[in-house]
A and B are shown apart, each in its own frame.
Chain A
Amino acid sequence: MTQHNHQDEKKPFPWHLVIFLAPALLIYITFSVYPLLDTLFLSLFNSQDGNSTFVGLQNFITLVTDDNWSHAFWNALLNNFKFFVIHMLLQNPIGLLLAILLSSPKLRLSGTYRTLIFMPTMLSVVIIGFVWQLLLSPIWGISEDFLYNIGLGQYFDAWLGKEGSALITLSFISVWQFVGIPMMLIYATLLNIPDDIVDAGTVDGANPLQTFWYIKLPLILPTIAMVSILTFVANFNAFELIYAVKGALAGPNFSTDLMGTFFYRTFFGFQLQQGSASMGAAVATLMFLIILVGVMLFLFFVQRRIQRFQF
């Protein structure tokens, strides 16, 4: 014990460690960790009328059950799940298909396809939202004429303006923009599969479909799981697209409201409703919990179960 202490005293204080680590840690804690924890804490208070009082879980109970709040909250949450499910059903399968095609051996121009298909992902969601708003606008005949030309004219409608179709249309726009992400990540995993494994399968008489199903698919499952959790986090964080196309009110009649827009309105207020920091914090806390539960489920069930292959 004394020997140990003696050694400790002899060692100079590791100033270099502090200098390397402190700036990053300080900024990260001050502007990310602390605000997140403070928001969770703030959600337990009522900050109306300038002074704040501790109310425990009252804000959450209000959100989930109160007539003025619960409808908007459940609506946003349900819409958010729809938004997520459409991404899972479209974005990831299309991304997978494109990745498989891109990784076909000796494909010419695969680099060019990759670069071009990834292009929309690079642009701001705000800009993409406006671009599609113009294209789908009933005033500008682009989509209408286009549909008439391919014989589907009677199906044209103001998709972004109708309660029944606005959310689905916005989901399609988002899928269109972000399909490049699953494509790239799955493509990278497919490239990493050693030829020997695939060749061994071919020699054993597996056809291309069997090669994919029994050899490649198990190897890309961890990537598909990762893409899914990234989609989940991004979807429950979505805000810009709805705000750009539909404004903070997420019209028509809140049919495109997501947790992000609901959070924004709760915090800043709109029309007759005053903004509330503590209610905003409560919404953010619920979003935090939803994302955390998603990430935990992913870590404990999906990632642990899937066999990890080392190449």
Chain B
Amino acid sequence: MKIVTGFLPSSPLNVSKSVTIHAILLAYTVIALFPIIVVIINAFKTRKAIFKDPLGLPDSESFTLAGFQEVLLRSDFGLYSWNSLVVTLLAVGLVLLLGAMAAWALTEYKFRGNFFIAFLFAMGIMIPIRLGTVSILSLMVELDLANTLTALVLVYIAQGLPLAVYILSEFVRTIPKELTEAARCDAVSEYKIFFCIILPLLKPAMATVAVFTMIPIWNDLWFPLILAPGEETRTITLGVQQFVGQYVTNWNSVLSALTLAIVPVLVLYTIFSRQLIRGLTSGAVK
């Protein structure tokens, strides 16, 4: 084997193969990013330049922030972002805490109904909560929660829990039994075992769950549209949807609105991409 690996890189066949692979991957990367980049660079250009030279970078002559000014002054983008942030953080935080507690209870203790409850949570991974919308809306109206951020948080917790319980349960199983048994011998309470021993150990799995729970909540349109469409409770995705739909002919502000919605997510993604990719490849990093 050593001879083979030492020989291969210098062989011409292998060089051309590697060039081909890079060419295909590079080409696909361009396809993946091109539309996003076009929108972002044009958001900084004058209307004239957007149409005259759509693919060019803004220069000193064509650079303008007019679109951004218009978006920020004419709509409540700040409020929408704040709403999204509050809903996402609260929902993700509670999914992590409640999900970890439930995962611990379901994996650690043997009790009647254990299997049934685990099955109930597992079903939620596949069946979209959206199909219960008719009842969710009437329930929220009855509870006097329509048009509140609380309604969104509650629904998103219910939506995020199944996957959280599943991933965290798998992780709890890998924690050595000796750890908890030793603590029980020392008469440490069950609460202390969970909060002081187990919860810190769950951190890496919780980071994965956080990223996977956060993305669909931040990007959701359905529930904000149905449960909280009011001006005060609009989330960023709903805000962009309505703003862009309304000003579809004002290219400067449409492109700026889209950029304002894209850039924060891309920045977050760049920060968390390692965590996300590790979660997706489930530790298979070579």
Contacts and interface: CB of A to CB of B under 8 A. Distances in A.
Interface of A: 14, 16-17, 19-21, 23-25, 27-36, 38-39, 42, 97-98, 101-102, 104, 106-109, 111, 113-120, 122-128, 130-132, 134-135, 140-142, 145, 176, 179-180, 184-185, 187-188, 191-192, 199, 229, 233, 237, 239-240, 243-244, 247, 260, 263, 267, 277, 280-281, 284-285, 287-288, 291-292, 295
A116 B29 contact: yes
B128 A237 contact: yes
A282 B208 CA distance: 36
A237 B255 contact: no
Contact of A291 (B24, B128, B132, B189): B128
Interface in B50-109: 50-51, 54-55, 98-99, 101-102, 104-106, 109
Contacts of B196: none
A177 B157 CA distance: 26
Contacts of A145: 54
Nearest to A130: B244
Given A21-B102, A31-B139, A39 B134 contact: yes
Contacts of A176: 31-32
B contact face: mostly helix, strand, loop, or mixed: helix
A152 B165 CA distance: 51
Contact of A134 (B39, B55, B262): B39
A36 B258 contact: no
B183 interface: no
Given A17-B105, A36-B129, A27 B161 contact: yes
A20 B101 contact: yes
B85 to A, nearest CB: 15
B206 to A, nearest CB: 14
B120 A126 contact: no
B240 interface: yes
Given A119-B266, A185-B280, A127 B261 contact: yes
Interface size classification for chain B: 35 or more
Contacts of B115: none
A31 B133 contact: no
B158 A288 contact: no
A21 B221 contact: no
B130 interface: yes
B132 to A, nearest CB: 3
Contacts of B133: 35, 39, 263, 267, 280, 284
A192 B191 CA distance: 37
A145 B51 CA distance: 11
Contacts of B127: 36, 288, 291-292, 295
B158 A27 contact: yes
Contacts of B99: 24
A20 B105 contact: yes
B281 A28 contact: no
Interface in B125-166: 126-136, 138-139, 154-155, 157-159, 161-162, 165
Interface in B208-249: 215, 218-219, 221-222, 225, 237, 240-241, 244-245
A115 to B, nearest CB: 5
Nearest to B219: A124
B171 interface: no
